[in-house]
Amino acid sequence: MPNLPIYLDNSATTPVDPRVVEKMLPWLTSLFGNPASSSHAFGREARAAVEAARGAVARLINAGSQEIIWTSGATESNNLALKGAALAQAARGRHLVSVQTEHNAVLDTLRDLETRGHTVTLLAPQINGLLDLNQFEAALRPDTSVVSVMLVNNEIGVIQDIAAIGAICRARGILLHVDAAQATGKVAIDVKTLPVDLMSLTAHKTYGPKGIGALYVRKGVAALAPQMHGGGHERGMRSGTLATHQIVGMGECFRIAGEEMAVEVPRLRALRDKLHRGLSALDCVRVNGDMQQRIANNLNISVMLPDCDQMIALLTDVAVSSASACMGGGASHVLQALHGGAAAPNAIRITVGRFNTTEEIDFALNYLTQKIRECQARKTAPALA
């Protein structure tokens, strides 16, 4: 019997790998220097650690170290990329294109830009969650300056064809921003060949600490208009004292991800596929999103039964994410977009992680199957006199 509850919500956040914690701890105690203080050994030591971590982050996506800008996380990276690029590119045009299924950190930023005089086109995905490339190309205009499409969707885990999208943008001289928060450690990324100009990254989806992220800014891209001022840190794009311990943690978790992806991804896929086979055997279960163009650890299902939202809300032995309104967060805009704006059916997002075991997956499959069958039984039970 595994320890309960079992954590299967790794797309929300991941536990910090003990190896990452060990690497971070000295920078919270004896190694406390400010990396901007170059006049003494304390600062120089911290600066060296920051640059080593910058190199580790760069290597995971095959970027140059000078192309990595530290931020507080993917939300700040998205804001800096979109606002910074839109303002810097305003002379070219004020039209931006994105997708209805983007993370709110992108959608809300685009809404803010609309209040500043920009126009935004949000494209509907296909039923499988993927973008129709013909529809995308048709949406581009002479005044389109920035496109933003996430690499991996945070709810349904589908992988967009960024190579094709980027090629279309590159041919028209349009900047492409990619939110890759959910992709690192799960999808191979090579910005030397992938036509991407800006890419948002974060540590806490990759077994690192919360509160630290980075923005890849391709060499040759004009400087972004900074969104934080006060010291000119990070090549003038993001001022603020660098959090050395968190940066070291991000560097270490990205280093581990790069070294272990080849083994970890197939293991996660096998665990996910076991859940997929078992739950798909229930005639009331439907999978949301394409199963081929999808990261290895994500399974998003809908339980096609009325009045089972309470069952989903009361799952106690397995920690999963629900996109239904019963969880208090409102209906999933991602699933609504897949279904043409209709109310999304009861949904459960299951995301397997590095520390999940086969025993835990077996328990979770039996547990979820039992709960769904209980919901079915209530539906078919005769009414009491």
Contacts of 74 (CB under 8 A, 6+ apart): 103, 105, 179, 181, 200, 201, 202, 205, 213
Candidates 253, 308, 326, 375; catalytic one: 326
Residue bearing tokens 């090629």: 167
- Quickly list H helices, the chain: 18-24, 41-61, 74-88, 104-115, 133-139, 162-172, 244-280, 309-313, 333-338, 358-380
**Which residues on neighbouring strands pair with residue 216, listed in sequence order?**
68, 199
Q: Which two tokens stand for residue 155?
A: 């709810």
Structure tokens that stand for 290 in this block: 């394409």
Q: Contact 175/95 with Cβ under 8 angstroms?
A: no
326 is catalytic: yes
The token duo for 361 is 């997956």
Instruction: Round to whole Å and give the CA distance between 155 and 202.
Output: 16
Catalytically active residues are 326
